Amino acid sequence: MSELLENNINNNNNSISFYERVKVVFLGEQSVGKTSLITRFMYDSYETSYQATIGIDFLSKVMSTPDRTIRLQLWDTAGQERFRSLIPSYIRDSGVAVIVYDITNSRTFNRIDNWVTEVRAQRGEAALILIVANKTDLNDKRQVSISEGETKARELNVLFVETSAKTGTNVKKLFRKVVDNLPKQPNDESLRKEFEVRLNETNALIINADKQCSYC
């Protein structure tokens, strides 16, 4: 998992925030709703017209817990076979893999093992993996039961949640589950101390600049 210091300067109060940065890669077959889940989370909206992702798309959003502030870097990968060769390079430095299937299409569920194998081939046990059963708004067309999804997640030792990008059901829960289950890195405290040093240095520069301006 990649974590670093990021300065976020607010023009109104010159505040600086400490962020952990985590790469979250979305994986799964074509048309399972990867882009729709990200769009619902980012903008609370849903596009009714389908447009396939070409290559890779990238967005980011900050989430907080009582003791952490995390910038999630959301990487939306194409499910089409012609882009499959690109995906390992995007998995390689990810902290989280979200593997999505469509509950109305058992073929997309049957590919879950392959996706988990691909993630572990690139990241070993270093990446948090979450299986997402999407399109619960189409429950009358369901081909994969909740218990099948839960059983698969237990077998693979990964997290599981059912969602609907269309209605927004459990989409926030999905990302909250990601943040709540992210392991803390051993160097978290050293990063925070480094941040505090930078903050003190920045404050000193601001004070010094203010003093100089008072003589202008």
CATH number at residue 60: 3.40.50.300
Q: How many structural domains comprise the chain?
A: 2
* 67 and 145, same domain (yes or no): yes
* 178 and 192, same domain (yes or no): no
pLDDT at 187: 52
Answer whether residue 74 is part of any domain: yes
* 180 and 198, same domain (yes or no): no
Q: What is the helix (H) or strand (E) element at residue 131, kind and residue range?
A: strand 128-134
For tokens 């076979």, the residue is 81
Answer whether residue 26 is part of any domain: yes
* 176 and 199, same domain (yes or no): no
* 133 and 175, same domain (yes or no): yes
* 172 and 194, same domain (yes or no): no
pTM above 0.85, yes or no: no
* 163 and 202, same domain (yes or no): no
* 178 and 210, same domain (yes or no): no
Answer whether residue 76 is part of any domain: yes
pLDDT by 10s per residue, the chain, length 216: 444 444 443 443 444 455 789 999 999 999 999 999 999 999 999 877 655 554 466 799 999 888 888 999 999 987 555 566 788 888 999 999 999 999 999 999 999 999 999 999 999 999 999 999 999 999 999 999 999 999 999 999 999 999 999 999 999 999 999 999 998 765 555 555 555 555 555 555 544 554 455 555
* 99 and 200, same domain (yes or no): no
Answer whether residue 7 is part of any domain: no
Look at residues 25, 29, 26, 23 and name the one whose alpha carbon lies nearest to residue 114: 29
Q: How far is Cα 105 from Cα 108, in angstroms, rounded to an integer? A: 6
* 82 and 143, same domain (yes or no): yes
Structural domain including 164 reads 20-185
pLDDT at 56: 61
pLDDT at 86: 80
pLDDT at 51: 59
Answer whether residue 10 is part of any domain: no
* 30 and 44, same domain (yes or no): yes
Answer whether residue 207 is part of any domain: yes
pLDDT at 191: 53
* 110 and 168, same domain (yes or no): yes
Look at residues 206, 205, 201, 198 and name the one whose alpha carbon lies nearest to residue 4: 198
Three-state DSSP class for residue 136 = helix
Answer whether residue 13 is part of any domain: no
